[in-house]
């Protein structure tokens, strides 16, 4: 799969991530009531108008629930129409799931800060679940496109969709495992050179486990 992304896509991803992190920081400092969209946008170095291009409310920015929850089409097409076959489907899907679901951050403290914020404001938890469910459903749709591109056939449409959801959930394991690794030992981010390297280690272990189960 191609690993390069367009400049436009990269800029959008970085802006979304900056707003997400700024929202968390501002709410932890000022409180949910007093944090404003204007201050969050300013902290991220963008205008209020730009903020609303990505999020409808400050609560959405906190959990990363964008105004248009979606997966970059070029990223999805690279995955769906990749030249590789069924032998690397698990690996390709795990990488796609990571790119599609992850709100990038090089700050190893960010997961802990998110948890602290959710503990202070439990009403935000449902929005967090909404984001994950919405994105996972979109990702599963692209996974189904990939399966059909590879010539897989299903007895019913329901069976096809359930199979794609199952594969999507299975291939979230390396991402979840990497997150747990960082949670237990935040220093590994610097020791290993970044979060992507930790994910690659988790992905390698995931593929070994699958191979041994066959």
Residues 44 and 121: their CA atoms lie apart, in Å, by 22
The predicted structure's pLDDT at residue 93: 96
Give the CB-side neighbour count of residue 41, counting CA atoms within 13 A.
Answer: 16
Determine the average pLDDT of the residues in 28-40.
95
Question: Which residue range forms the structural domain that includes residue 145?
Answer: 7-171
**How many Å apart are CA 174 and CA 172, to the nearest integer?**
6
Q: Is 164 helix (H, G, I), strand (E, B) or coil?
A: helix
In a domain, residue 207? The reply is: no
Mean pLDDT calculated for residue range 35-59? 94
- CATH number of the domain at 129, please: 1.10.357.10
So what's the pLDDT on residue 25?
A: 93
**Which distant-in-sequence residues (6+ apart) come within 8 Å of 131 by Cβ?**
63, 64, 65, 69
Asked if residue 189 has pLDDT above 90, the reply is no
Helices in 56-194 by DSSP H: which ranges? 58-63, 73-80, 89-101, 110-120, 125-149, 157-170, 173-184, 188-191
**Tens digits of residue pLDDT in 116-135:** 887 888 888 777 667 677 78
Structural domain contains residue 55: yes
Backbone angles phi, psi at 103, to 5 degrees: -90, 105
Residue 123 lies in a domain: yes
Q: Is residue 132 part of a domain?
A: yes
| Domain total of the chain | 1
d(CA 171, CA 153): 20
Task: Let me know if residue 136 belongs to a domain.
Answer: yes
User: pLDDT tens, 87-100?
Assistant: 999 999 999 998 88
Binned at pLDDT 50, 70 and 90, residue 68 comes out as: low
On whether residue 198 sits in a domain, the answer given is: no
Q: In this structure, is residue 12 part of a structural domain? A: yes
Q: What is the DSSP letter of 57?
A: S
- Inside any domain, residue 197: no
At residue 78, φ and ψ (nearest 5 deg) are -60, -40
């Amino acid at each position: 799969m191609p690993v390069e992304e367009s400049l436009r896509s990269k800029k959008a991803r970085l802006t979304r991530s900056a707003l997400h992190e700024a929202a968390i920081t501002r709410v932890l400092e000022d409180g949910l009531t007093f944090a404003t969209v204007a201050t969050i946008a300013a902290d991220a170095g963008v205008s209020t108008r730009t903020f609303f291009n990505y999020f409808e409310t400050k609560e959405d920015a906190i959990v990363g629930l964008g105004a248009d929850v979606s997966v970059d089409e070029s990223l999805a097409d690279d995955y769906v129409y990749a030249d590789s076959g069924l032998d690397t489907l698990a690996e390709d899907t795990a990488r796609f799931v990571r790119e599609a679901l992850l709100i990038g951050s090089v700050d190893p403290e960010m997961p802990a800060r998110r948890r602290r914020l959710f503990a202070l404001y439990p009403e935000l938890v449902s929005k967090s679940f909404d984001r994950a469910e919405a994105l996972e459903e979109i990702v599963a749709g692209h996974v189904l496109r990939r399966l059909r591109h590879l010539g897989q056939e299903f007895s019913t449409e329901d069976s096809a969709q359930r199979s794609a959801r199952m594969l999507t959930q299975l291939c979230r394991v390396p991402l979840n495992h990497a997150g747990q690794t960082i949670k237990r030992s935040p220093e590994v981010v610097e020791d290993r050179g970044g979060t992507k390297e930790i994910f690659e280690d988790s992905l390698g272990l995931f593929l070994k486990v699958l191979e041994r189960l066959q």
